[in-house]
Amino acid sequence: MSDLLFEAVIFDLDGVVTQTALVHSAAWKMMFDDYLKERERKYGEPFIEFTHKGDYLQYVDGKPRYKGVESFLASRDIHIPYGKPDDSTALETICGIGNRKNEVFNKILKSDGVNVYATTVSLIRKLKKKGIRIGVASSSKNCEQVLKAAGIEGLFETRVDGVVSAELNLKGKPEPDIFTLACDNLGVDYDRTMVVEDAVSGVQAGAKGNFGLVLGLAREGNAHELLINGADIVVEDIGDFGLEGIEDWFRQGLEKDSWSITYNDYDAGKEKARETLLTIGNGYLGTRGAMEESNPGDVNYPGTYLAGLYNRRISEVAGKNIENEDFVNITNWLPVNFKIGNDPWMDINNWKVLSISRMLDMKQGILRRKMVVQDSIGRQTAIVSRRIASMHDPHIVALEYTIKPLNYSSHISLKTSLSGQHINAGVERYKQLDQQHLSTRDAGGTLNSMYLSMETTESGIIISTAVKILAFADSQAFTPDYQVHSEAGLSEIFFEHYLDQASALTIHKICSIYKSNDPGIEDPQLSAIKALNAYKSFDEVLIPSVNAWKKIWDEIDIRIEGDRQAQKLLRLHLYHLMVTTSPHNIYIDAGIPARGLHGEAYRGHIFWDELYIMPFYYMHFPEAARSVLMYRYRRLDAARKYAWEHGYKGAMFPWQSGSDGREETQVMHLNPVSGKWGADHSSLQRHVSLAIAYNIWNYYWYTNDLEFMQTYGMEMMIEISRFWASKTKFDKKSGRYNIDRVMGPDEFHEKYANRKDGGIKDNTYTNIMVAWLLGKTLEMWEKINKQSRDQLIEKMDLKTEELNTWQDITNKINIIIDEQGILAQFDGYFELKELDWPAYKEKYGNICRMDRILKAEGKSPDDYKVAKQADTLMTFYNFDQETVDGIFSSLGLNLPEDYLEKNLAYYLQRTSHGSTLSKIVHARLANMIQDKELSWKLYHDALTSDYQDIQGGTTGEGIHAGVMAGTILVAIQSFAGLNLQGDFASFSPNLPEHWRKISFGFNFKETKYFCVVLKDKIEILASRKTSIIVNGVRQEVDNNKRNII
């Protein structure tokens, strides 16, 4: 048994253990050159030789033999039959040609023998002495033969090669199957295993397999390619890393890596999504991770957004005046750039990027960058930068920027700017609209300081930004001859400095941002300028911010053992939630934007997504959660007005909410194909009010904040209840209450085909939530004190008859269920047409947006049993089954015991997952019915959705805050099994197979908990003596002591 922190190392064969990679390359070249010359004779195709660098490394290296043949031939636009593995070498098939290569390889092997890499074999022997398990995984079917020829077969405890892959039908690289099987054979955990590879497809497989370390060997000068395709570390020879390097990685490198995301290339097609994921912020503001030298355009989009800052514009579109309220991209505080001599300023998209590494340090809230660029005449310049948004002082952002000439000496000009000369242009589909949201109010500066005040064109909010610059030459402070320039929408500082080769020029740019409607701010420009006096260097901003982040992480961190990727991505999601809404939001009148402070999608508006997000804040930052609820309370009168305008009582909150609480959803939609206007029924998603009531109740339930309920929360719940009661109609024939003209969470169903106006009837999710709401409002009415009840009766003219009606609705609302126990999504759902899902998948591949596919075919999703996301099943995301069963019981409904399993199976196969929120809901339900494999697959898809930008580029427009929060909650509520819907914290753990444990803290009912959930026990600390429930059994917990259950 090893005392090291890792258990196994799985080696690739060719190019890692044995020097057979060049033998393979030579065999491939001999075979392909012969074949290509044969095609020249047969078909007149010009012969172009097969090369090691251009063809072997790119198309063949590391792949199974037949896949390599197929890949290379496709690159030459040659298409032949696949054939069968036992095809004769005379046949012109993929398999036949692959077998020719094997024949050539065996001849070379027989004549030349096999050499090994001595450093690799030496390391293997050291590892074995330390008790580390050793395996070999290779695509080659000659693996066993090669090992025997080299005399090293006995070094490996398991061998998974091309022969084994064929027998077990394993997928070849870049899939991880051969490596995971090797680990399974050894009985070791993937996260405690190192994979060693020299091929791009191999490190891709290693990254997909979620191994503890993927080591790339760059024997072909391909270090960069290995790094950007999944290698954690790249060396030229394994002797350069050694046992000490492996130990160090598993001791501290792996932990450090779990706190960061890193990009080692500059990919124009992925840049906007990366800018989103590299955003820094503090709840008051968010700044996208665009590079300092970049400008808004097709590739880059710098943006800074302030919580709650909106502006309206009226645009003429296809003959109609359309008003939209947008999330304003304020003054760009980032710009820093340089030029060499009198040449043009550096252009990131025209200069050559020789190397780049950008790393978001989530633990400390720092975005770091190292880059080397080269101009058109070969001059190379290194750039190093750091930036932060202070988590200590929400108005302060700062960056440190260093340039160093690497192969030249010259005068360098440096400029740094504040720019408001842009429009909102972060979402392509909004570009036809008027997006000019800023006008200049004042601009200027002197010496090393400058300021820029902009004003929103309609809402009249002044945003003032001030900057102080500090300059350093080789770390020594100096005062250059600053030149300040200002004009409409722009303030700039320039200076020039001579730099010798390898000397460095650094600036610290410290920036403050205030707006005129910030609490207590009379003159935002004066406030911004004065705020800079507190800081004399970048580090003076950095250190208190890092300390503030430490306090936050001490509160929110989740630790996973057994899953490296989940650990990193859960921290990424926690980080971005804090960027969006933090403890600073206690003082901000804003909701939680569905797309964060990261971009302009959904115009920064507030949706029902808060239902997914708010539980995180109840558990960690209840005062911030209360502030978000107060955002809704301050707009209660607007919701009352909205209800009255539509003929209803109470308060009807808007589907999209922005600055003042009016409905921001468009009611008309322009069809870009036909050019005609049609009705947009999105605003009929009235269930947003139910989400608000759900959040109010749960805030109280988690926090015991009765004062909030008596002063604010109860008033909102009553008004929302009044709205829904006024929307119900009693059917004397059925003896049930119906709700018509609404939409459920599934946005594919807006209306009935035979009805002109929008909405559907008796949406099950809506009706169950209404029954719950009215019941909870009545329950809460009894909890508040008599004085509060009397005040509400007087203020709201509340009558006993209303309360009685609510109770009646709670007991009699209509729920449609078929004889199998399937809950109808809405009245008439079972009569809709079925969709041929396999046919559509085969035809279109990605069918997430089945609504668009059907409309393009001249059909309507309203006619089909197809859902964008969980609708009926959303009920079970909100409540445990016991709660839902209680609602059904009060309605006099009896369902079969397995109704949840049946409903999940029924609706899952009819859902396209066109929303990022969809899979997280289904993952939770699959966990509830103990289908761990399905639950994990759906959860993993949700967990990686923004990181891999699976929605076709939408991450570039902003994060999906709802799914990020959902992945956090499913980790602790489904996998760790935490249930806070009862009087005591309850645990029913159901960890994924590969998770060994999960650790996290939370607050519930004025008690602070920290727990560690393992497969066989729970360790728990509590701030006071209390009880918890574990697998249905009540257990007593002593305070400030580790309790093991």
Residue range 674-703, pLDDT digits in tens? 566 778 899 999 999 999 999 999 999 999
Residue 940 within a domain: no
Q: Are 766 and 699 in contact (CB under 8 A)?
A: no
Cβ neighbours of residue 6 under 8 Å, at least 6 residues apart?
A: 132, 192, 193, 194, 212, 213, 246, 247, 250
Helix axes 622-633, 714-727, angle to 10 degrees: 50
Per the structure block, which two tokens stand in for 418? 């504040």
CA dihedral 250, 254, 255, 261 (to 10 degrees): 170
Residue 747 within a domain: no
3-state secondary structure 707-750: HHHHHHHHHHHHHHHHHHHHHEEEECCCCEEEECCECCCCCCCC
DSSP classification of residue 467:
E
pLDDT of residue 109: 75
CA 5, 8, 10 angle in degrees (round to 5)? Answer: 140
CA 108 from chain center: how many Å? 50
Average per-residue pLDDT in the chain? 95
Percent of the chain with pLDDT over 70: 99
Please determine, for residue 668, whether its predicted confidence score (pLDDT) is greater than 80.
Answer: no
pLDDT of residue 103: 84
Mean predicted confidence (pLDDT) in 233-243: 96
Please determine, for residue 26, whether its predicted confidence score (pLDDT) is greater than 90.
Answer: no
pLDDT of residue 754: 86
Cβ neighbours of residue 779 under 8 Å, at least 6 residues apart?
A: none
User: What's the length of the chain?
Assistant: 1045
Q: Are 472 and 507 in contact (CB under 8 A)?
A: yes
What number of CA atoms fall less than 13 Å from residue 48's CA on the CB side? 10
Q: Does 321 share its domain with 426?
A: yes
Q: 3-class DSSP state for residue 33?
A: helix
pLDDT of residue 675: 67
Position 288, amino acid: R
Per the structure block, which two tokens stand in for 703? 């926090």
CA 598, 604, 605 angle in degrees (round to 5)? Answer: 145
Q: Does 375 share its domain with 428?
A: yes
Helix, strand and coil in the chain, % to nearest 5? 40, 25, 35
Active site residue 747: yes
pLDDT of residue 669: 72
Alpha-carbon distance of 843 to 785, in angstroms, equals 62
Alpha-carbon distance of 64 to 166, in angstroms, equals 10
Q: 3-class DSSP state for residue 862?
A: helix
- Look at the alpha carbons of 479, 483, 484, 490 in this order and tell me if their dihedral is positive or negative: negative
Q: 3-class DSSP state for residue 387?
A: strand
Q: Does 159 share its domain with 222?
A: yes
The residue among 96, 112, 128 that closes a domain is 112
Rg over CA atoms, the chain: 31
- Phi first, then psi, for residue 613 (nearest 5°) are -90, -40
Residue 823 within a domain: no
DSSP classification of residue 15:
T
DSSP β-bridge partners for residue 606 = 657
pLDDT of residue 673: 54
Q: Does 410 share its domain with 422?
A: yes
Number of domains making up the chain: 4
pLDDT of residue 831: 97
Q: Does 252 share its domain with 128?
A: yes
Alpha-carbon distance of 809 to 417, in angstroms, equals 61
Confidence at 601, pLDDT banded by 50, 70, 90: very high
Cβ neighbours of residue 977 under 8 Å, at least 6 residues apart?
A: 986, 987, 988, 989, 990, 1013
Confidence at 666, pLDDT banded by 50, 70, 90: confident
pLDDT per residue as tens digits for the range 152-183:
999 999 999 999 999 999 999 999 999 999 99
DSSP letters, 633-661, are HTTHHHHHHHHHHTT-SS----SSB-SSS
DSSP classification of residue 946:
T
The residue among 112, 146, 167 that closes a domain is 112
Tell me the CATH number at 342: 2.70.98.40
CA dihedral 255, 259, 265, 270 (to 10 degrees): 140
pLDDT per residue as tens digits for the range 900-916:
999 999 999 999 999 98
Q: Does 106 share its domain with 129?
A: no
Q: Does 336 share its domain with 448?
A: yes
Please determine, for residue 671, whether its predicted confidence score (pLDDT) is greater than 70.
Answer: no
Per the structure block, which two tokens stand in for 483? 């030149």
The residue among 553, 585, 615 that closes a domain is 553
pLDDT per residue as tens digits for the range 779-803:
999 999 999 999 999 999 999 999 9
pLDDT of residue 22: 76
Alpha-carbon distance of 656 to 785, in angstroms, equals 34
Q: Does 292 share its domain with 245?
A: no
pLDDT per residue as tens digits for the range 325-344:
999 999 999 999 999 999 99
Please determine, for residue 252, whether its predicted confidence score (pLDDT) is greater than 70.
Answer: yes
Alpha-carbon distance of 884 to 879, in angstroms, equals 7
Q: Does 174 share its domain with 194?
A: yes
DSSP classification of residue 885:
H
Q: Does 88 share its domain with 120?
A: no
Per the structure block, which two tokens stand in for 244? 């000490």
Per the structure block, which two tokens stand in for 201? 């497809």
Q: Which of 123-137, 192-206, 405-419, 662-676 is predicted least confidently? A: 662-676
Residue 263 within a domain: no
- 114/703: higher pLDDT: 703
CA 386 from chain center: how many Å? 23
Alpha-carbon distance of 430 to 438, in angstroms, equals 17
Confidence at 462, pLDDT banded by 50, 70, 90: very high
Q: Does 95 share its domain with 241?
A: no
Tell me the CATH number at 999: 2.60.420.10
pLDDT of residue 923: 97
Mean predicted confidence (pLDDT) in 435-452: 97
Q: Does 227 share its domain with 103?
A: no
Active-site position among 225, 271, 715, 747: 747
Other beta carbons within 10 angstroms of residue 495's beta carbon come to 19
Q: Are 986 and 1026 in contact (CB under 8 A)?
A: no
pLDDT per residue as tens digits for the range 529-586:
999 999 999 999 999 999 999 999 999 999 999 999 999 999 999 999 999 999 999 9
Alpha-carbon distance of 968 to 573, in angstroms, equals 8
pLDDT per residue as tens digits for the range 46-62:
999 999 888 988 898 87
pLDDT per residue as tens digits for the range 376-395:
999 999 999 999 999 999 99
Residue 624 within a domain: no
Tell me the CATH number at 171: 3.40.50.1000
pLDDT of residue 346: 98
Which of 609, 840, 842 is CA-nearest to residue 851? 840
Alpha-carbon distance of 826 to 749, in angstroms, equals 10
Number of H helices, E strands in the chain: 32, 38
Which of 880, 919, 886 is CA-nearest to residue 900? 880
DSSP letters, 593-639, are -TTTTS--GGGG-B-TTHHHHHHHHHHH-HHHHHHHHHHHHTTHHHH
pLDDT of residue 1041: 86
pLDDT per residue as tens digits for the range 967-1000:
999 999 999 999 999 999 999 999 999 999 999 9
Please determine, for residue 1034, whether its predicted confidence score (pLDDT) is greater than 70.
Answer: yes
Residue 767 within a domain: no
pLDDT of residue 27: 83
pLDDT per residue as tens digits for the range 720-769:
999 999 999 999 999 999 999 999 999 999 999 888 899 999 999 999 99
Q: For residue 301, give its domain range.
A: 275-553
For the purposes of burial, counting CB atoms within 10 Å of the CB of 798, is it exposed (0-12), middle (13-18) or buried (19 or more)? middle
For residue 174, whether the previous peptide bond is cis, meaning omega lies within 30 degrees of 0, is: yes
Please determine, for residue 316, whether its predicted confidence score (pLDDT) is greater than 90.
Answer: no
Cβ neighbours of residue 974 under 8 Å, at least 6 residues apart?
A: 923, 924, 927, 928, 935, 990
Residue 367 within a domain: yes
Which of 907, 947, 945, 904 is CA-nearest to residue 927? 904
Please determine, for residue 1, whether its predicted confidence score (pLDDT) is greater than 70.
Answer: no
Residue 953 within a domain: no
Tokens 């092997």 belong to residue: 109
